[in-house]
A and B are shown apart, each in its own frame.
Chain A
Amino acid sequence: MTRVWDLAHGRSGDKGDVCNMGVIARTPEAWEVLRKHVTAERVKAHFGDMIKGSVERFELPNIRALNFVCRGALDGGGTLSLRSDHLGKVMYTWLLHMEIDDE
């Protein structure tokens, strides 16, 4: 079983009720696997009720990074949220925890 964490590292942060999560591939091979398997749809499903809105994916190919922009992801936004992680500082770690089928 492969997790995103085996292939990438990352960081997340907040802008209003949007949480963005960036993941950076550790190797060129890992980048190809990430691009293929870690789609916006998979990420949206992986977060379930935690993300109320849409998930969009953007690519930064020269640093082998994917950026996921997740709307309605912070319980109203950092200034309103009841969550302990109200700024989404560790939301990316749940993304790193995601399993991928690397055949």
Chain B
Amino acid sequence: MKSVKLGTGLAFWGDSIRPAIDMIERADIQYMCCDHLAELTMSILNKQKSRNPDLGYTTDIIPFLRGVLVKARERGIKIISNSGGSNPESCTRQVVKLCEELGLYGTKVACVTGDDIMDRIDELLEQGIALENTDTGQPLAEIRDKVTHANVYIGCEGIVEALERGADIVICGRVTDAALYLGPMRHELGWAKDDWDLLGAGTGIAHCIECGGQATGGLFSGGWQDQPNLPSLGYPVTTVFENGEAILSKTPQTGGSVTPGTVSEQLVYEVMDPANYLTADSTADVSQIKLEQVAADQVKISNITGKEAPATLKVNMGYRAGFVGEAQFTYTWPDAVKKAKAGLKFLEERLRQVDFKASDTRVEYIGRNSMWGPELVPDPTEGEEDLKEIVVRFAARCPTKEDARKVFTESVPLYNNGPAGASGIGTRPPIKELYGIWPCLIPRELITQKVEITEVVRKDEEQPA
């Protein structure tokens, strides 16, 4: 039976390159797939691009390739990544430049575009594509002037085309996470673009491995104590068969483990209705999935099916939504809680004096209720006289940067003007801009992907245009 061997290289922007280096040296793989984009990432990348037209991609692709590319080319391993973010063209140029520097002539670098609809929004609205919020039904007009980016979660067809045309490295923008894996599956296994059961299976398998170490013992709540050598955690190495089944394993001689338990936790991660897992390429049904331990650190995945892909594609649209200001301070015994509450009152009064504006504020006590929240776990009370220390965190959503800045500025006087013994105020934090996500849909026939391939050549061989 035909099969393809896929490795998970990076699982998020800023992920360590160590598991990928272990993998490229020791694992038997044909493709290494890397996801760099989360919901918020496109907002950040677009902001970078608006300041510098050469930026807007996740720059971690360069040190990653520097670490793995020579070996990957030696072994014929292809690399697929969505590090292009808001600027796949610029990312591709940087990758080509790196190939030149490393002397990897003949390498074919593909750039997949077509996901960015930022410049088409008004035209789409005129055509009657409402782009209304799928959660709330609100019309786009409410935030139109604040939109920072609009990228469609596109499927794997561009990646398949790039591989058919011989690409060694494929750089994409906002393709779905699953497409990074489904592309090589379709290319190698010959799956038709409407074989819904197989595409569903591939999508489900991709979901199991796209978050890297989260499937191989990282973050494992069902027995983290028993996971060997987490600092050297191995990332997923997966053999996908043409019948839609797979064996999920990991790089040899690494930490972590692969069991039905570790894979189950990843399977339920960020899934809505498991019988209707919507992506650009299929509607996967993972509700009847079977996971079976077939050898040490090897889990067989089977029984995933699929239905037709949705008629619309999801758009990742972001809009500017103000700023957040934060302050944190600590008091110790005696009367830690009383002092903390007095310190908080002090801060609130100082903010009132400087005409502070915020749409929302939040108080959490770190070490007590900052994770489950004061909604679920009560604040400490003044009766707790033995408490050795208490940390207050105050956060506010503000309309302007200036308001957000006041939160820290007005907390600083707590050091010498407030109740006795404040500490741990820290240094001025950067002001974080907030972005809202505007979930909306676009008919799939309005999106066409484009693939451009650049072959890396010696500068002196280049022909004048």
Indicate with 1 or 0, residue by residue over A87-103, a CB within 8 angstroms of chain B CB atoms.
Answer: 00010111010000000
Partner of A83, one of B214, B286, B373: B373
CB of B272 within 8 A of CB of A69, answer yes
CB of A82 within 8 A of CB of B267, answer no
Residue tally, chain A, CB below 8 Å to B: 45
CB of A11 within 8 A of CB of B371, answer no
CB of A69 within 8 A of CB of B270, answer no
Partner of B39, one of A79, A83, A94: A79
> Which B residues touch A62, using CB under 8 A?
288-291, 303
CB of A22 within 8 A of CB of B393, answer no
CA distance A82 to B374 in the complex (A): 12
CB of A77 within 8 A of CB of B267, answer no
B43 within 8 A of A: yes
Partner of B221, one of A9, A15, A17, A82: A9
CB of A49 within 8 A of CB of B375, answer yes
Which of under 10, 10 to 19, 20 to 34, or 35 or more describes the interface residues of B?
35 or more
CA distance A48 to B374 in the complex (A): 11
CB of A50 within 8 A of CB of B434, answer no
CB of B366 within 8 A of CB of A84, answer yes
CA distance A71 to B324 in the complex (A): 23
CB of A16 within 8 A of CB of B39, answer yes
B184 within 8 A of A: no
B395 within 8 A of A: yes
CA distance A28 to B387 in the complex (A): 43
CB of B435 within 8 A of CB of A85, answer no
Instruction: List residues 187-226 of chain B with CB under 8 A from any CB of chain A.
Output: 214, 219-223
Given A12-B269, A96-B221, list of 10 further CB < 8 A pairs? A11-B266, A13-B269, A14-B39, A60-B274, A63-B267, A67-B268, A82-B395, A93-B221, A94-B372, A94-B376
Residue positions of A touching B, CB distance < 8 A: 9-18, 20, 22-24, 26, 47-50, 56, 58-63, 65, 67, 69, 71, 75-80, 82-85, 90, 92-94, 96
Closest 5 A/B residue pairs (Cβ): A22-B268, A9-B222, A13-B270, A82-B362, A84-B370
